[in-house]
Amino acid sequence: MSHRIKRIPFGYDGPLPTGRTLQRLLPKILEGIDETQEQQPNVVLEAFQQILGTELSKIAVAKSFADGVLYVAVKNSTFLSVLHMQEKGRILSQLRVKCPKHRFNNIVFRVG
């Protein structure tokens, strides 16, 4: 969460009321919820499946996304080499467009 809600210090004896209105709190809380939902790895996994399409997503399945690295399980080594050599750059650029809040460093393809 980028904005912190400051606490009222212990022993506060000032002129302002200590209660907070919902109108002040709700935008900050909803912002934090939106940020955490956008950072979910499931969003990246679904975007990868959409980029590949229905036919190719049966052969290559995104398993996890952590620390900017997307791990993909591929059914056979031939398709793995095609993905790694020819399609990796295109997939990375499309993932960066579809999920701008995430940082993508690499895609790791593994047979499995």
Domain spans in the chain, listed from the N-terminal domain onward:
41-111
Is residue 81 within 8 A of residue 71, CB to CB? The reply is: no
Report how far Cα 78 is from the mean position of its chain's Cα atoms: 29
Q: Distance of CA 100 to CAs 29, 48, 84, 96, 108, Å?
A: 21, 13, 22, 5, 20
pLDDT tens digit at each of 112 positions of the chain = 456 777 778 888 888 777 777 788 888 888 888 777 666 788 889 999 999 988 888 899 999 998 889 999 999 999 999 999 999 999 999 999 998 888 899 999 999 8
CATH superfamily of 41-111: DnaA, N-terminal domain (3.30.300.180)
